[in-house]
Amino acid sequence: MVKIQRFFIKYKRQILITITILLILAEIFKWVFKLTLLYQILMAVAGVIGVIPIILTAISSLKVKLISIDVLVSLAVIGAFIIGEFNEAAIVTWLFMLGEVLEDFTLKKTRSEVSDLASMAPQTALVVQEDGSTEEEDVDFIDSGDQVVVKTGDQVPVDGKIISGSGNLDEASINGESRLVNKGVGDAVYAGTMLENGNLTVETTAAGEDTTFGKIIEVVEEAEDSKSHTEKLINRFAKYYTPFILIIALIVGVITRNFKLAITIMVLGCPGALVIGVPVSTVAGIGNGAKNGIMFKGSQVMDEMRKVDEIAFDKTGTLTIGHPEVSAVRVLNGDKAKIIKLAAAIEKKSNHPLANTIAKMDPFVIDAVVETVKGEGVIATYEQEKYFVGNLQLVEENTKKNAELEKIADDLSSQGDSIVVFSNRDQSLLAIFGIKDQLRPQAKKALLKLKKLGIKKLVMLSGDKQQTAEKIATELPLDEVHGEQLPSDKATFIKAEQQKGNKVAFIGDGINDGPALASANVAIAVGNGTDVAVDVSDIVLVKNDLKQVAYAFSLSKRTILNMNENIALALLTVLILFIGLFVGYIEMASGMLVHELSILVVILNGMRLLKNR
């Protein structure tokens, strides 16, 4: 039976064409040559050919105790044969098969928008050999540190850093940005992007599935398989709805003794548009997000995102560009050069944006044991001495209170500087770094857009002192600003807001954002975030553009609205068909035509979501 099923699936289009020709010939013999017997024979043959794959699928579903649409149609067509309505049987099976072919075509078109991503993944790279020559190798065999050459017109095969050359890159496959980006030595490049002009030598940081592009494909493929709450509900509904229609048809047939009416009810009651309408919307919505640099980790995330009415932002790397610069170094005790050297060496072992800023001040490297204190900084042990690099709380808790240090910290904070304090155990080496970060250029516009879309409350949560946080936030349309927030404080804030009945999204990028991301109704990570932030998030903004948050919110609302439109359209079609049936305007074949058209309409409606912005 499996082989026969495969045959009918493989040659579905050819079989549809054959049935179509038989139907046309039958009509010609009836209306041109008045050969009614030949008309009936051709209709019967067409009906038999058409019903075989439907019956086989129905048997397969019954084996797993599922009464599917195919069961309804099979019973209806067999009933049509029994009462001698061969033309009804032929037309119903033809329409059913036509609907399947059209459904396959449109769904293939929808899914291709997503699968195109996978086909764009680079497969090989020109790897620099020890003698300086290059050799083409599979990307799966490339390790971190390997150097690869990218020439004009080539696809960048790995994630990495440019070590020589420069050029203009098309990064649309990663972040949806249509403009070319000029990059040179020291800049990061991503697998899947295109080098439009120039030549590059890139030192690999990630290859294959570990690249940003590889993760996008993985997340999108997983998201396609996930189901929203509505989708699960519809599937459960359809599971019970189909047997319900079967029972109704049986009861009507017994009471009215009208066998044709009973089998017509079976055909018209098929929930095809209801079953297909929801997944086509979610696949199209997720595909649109992927094309625009927004990774939704499942359709259920869209369902949650559209309900969000409050958004909390981490500051550094989220509302700010995340490339802060040291604006002041105030030394209270010790040699300034030595302090900078040690601070820079210790901060090299941290991935916090503020730490990276200090790390760039000196190339000195030490072999220290470093312990991260979440939300406070790091404690380093080097040559039997302990050093503390972080916020004021970390230093004073582990050394001693210092009034002068606190006064300088207040002064710098009032100027909008973030504070990093360096100290050893006895504060014989003591200094404070003032670090300034710039707001993202699009931050204000993005937040205003969110307000316009209906977000009621925008909040900034920062580890900086309250003065610093408020100073930075003065240019933004925020409703609340909370400074001196430890990771646990951010999570506590979110839970408190949820207890008030708010649906809260949190946007962050660092390890210290993990608890807040895990507590939020929707966790959003920006693309340059740490692996931890990206892993625990529900949505990843590949492009570091805050306007993508508004687009993700808008797209979620449009996708769920589209899904509900399809549900309403499917149910309305069934209702109208039954009304038409009982008032005498709809018959089996015409009802089946309307049914198949409704399936096509919901698919086309879902495909509207594939359009960019």
Alpha helices, DSSP H only, in 297-373?
A: 299-305, 336-347, 353-359
Residue 552's pLDDT is 92
Express each pLDDT in 119-154 by its tens digit: 666 778 888 888 878 888 888 888 888 899 888 878
Residue 287's pLDDT is 81
Residue owning tokens 């879309």: 453
Q: Is 314 a catalytic residue?
A: yes
Residue 558's pLDDT is 93
Residue-by-residue DSSP string for 232-257: HHHHHHHHHHHHHHHHHHHHHHHHH-
Are residues 346 and 366 in contact, defined by beta-carbon separation less than 8 angstroms? yes
Which position among 314, 417, 464, 545 bears the catalytic label? 314
Beta strands 457-461 and 310-314: pairing type?
parallel
Residue owning tokens 């802060």: 324
Both tokens of residue 540? Answer: 């990843």
Strand partners, 168: 182, 197
Instruction: Give the start-end residues of each E strand in 503-601.
Output: 504-508, 522-526, 539-541
Neighbours of 273 (CB within 10 A): 25
Torsions phi, psi of 330, nearest 5? Answer: -105, 115
Cβ burial of 501 (10 Å; 0-12, 13-18, 19+) is exposed
Residue 208's pLDDT is 80
Are residues 361 and 345 in contact, defined by beta-carbon separation less than 8 angstroms? no
Express each pLDDT in 99-112 by its tens digit: 677 667 656 655 55
Are residues 569 and 277 in contact, defined by beta-carbon separation less than 8 angstroms? yes
What is the gyration radius of the CA atoms in the chain, in angstroms?
Answer: 32
3-class state of residue 35 by DSSP:
coil
3-class state of residue 348 by DSSP:
coil
Cβ burial of 445 (10 Å; 0-12, 13-18, 19+) is middle
Residue owning tokens 């999108």: 220
> How long is the chain?
613
Q: How far apart are CA 597 and CA 576, in angstroms?
A: 14
Residue 522 corresponds to which amino acid? Answer: V
9, 100, 113, 562: CA torsion to nearest 10: -150
Cα 494 to Cα 376, 429, 440, 453, 612, distances in angstroms: 20, 38, 24, 21, 33
Are residues 374 and 485 in contact, defined by beta-carbon separation less than 8 angstroms? no
Q: How far apart are CA 478 and CA 451, in angstroms?
A: 10
Strand partners, 522: 505
Instruction: Give the start-end residues of each E strand in 305-407.
Output: 310-314, 325-333, 369-373, 377-382, 385-390
Are residues 458 and 478 in contact, defined by beta-carbon separation less than 8 angstroms? yes
Are residues 437 and 316 in contact, defined by beta-carbon separation less than 8 angstroms? yes
Residue 482's pLDDT is 92
**Is the sign of the CA dihedral 592, 593, 596, 601 positive or negative?**
negative
User: Looking at the whole model, is its pTM more than 0.85?
Assistant: no
Express each pLDDT in 157-197 by its tens digit: 888 889 988 888 877 666 545 567 788 888 888 887 888 88
The H-or-E segment that residue 183 falls in is strand 181-183
Express each pLDDT in 336-376 by its tens digit: 999 999 999 998 887 676 787 888 888 888 888 888 887 78
φ/ψ bin of 211: left (φ > 0), alpha (ψ from -120 to 50), beta (otherwise): beta
Residue 108's pLDDT is 64
Instruction: Using 50 as the pLDDT threshold, list the residues of the chain that sit under it.
Output: 176
Both tokens of residue 527? Answer: 């693309």
45-63: b (≥16 Cβ within 10 Å) or e: bbbbbbbbbbbbbbeebee
Q: How far apart are CA 31 and CA 401, in angstroms?
A: 103
Torsions phi, psi of 338, nearest 5? Answer: -65, -40
Q: How far apart are CA 105 and CA 118, in angstroms?
A: 20
Cβ burial of 130 (10 Å; 0-12, 13-18, 19+) is exposed
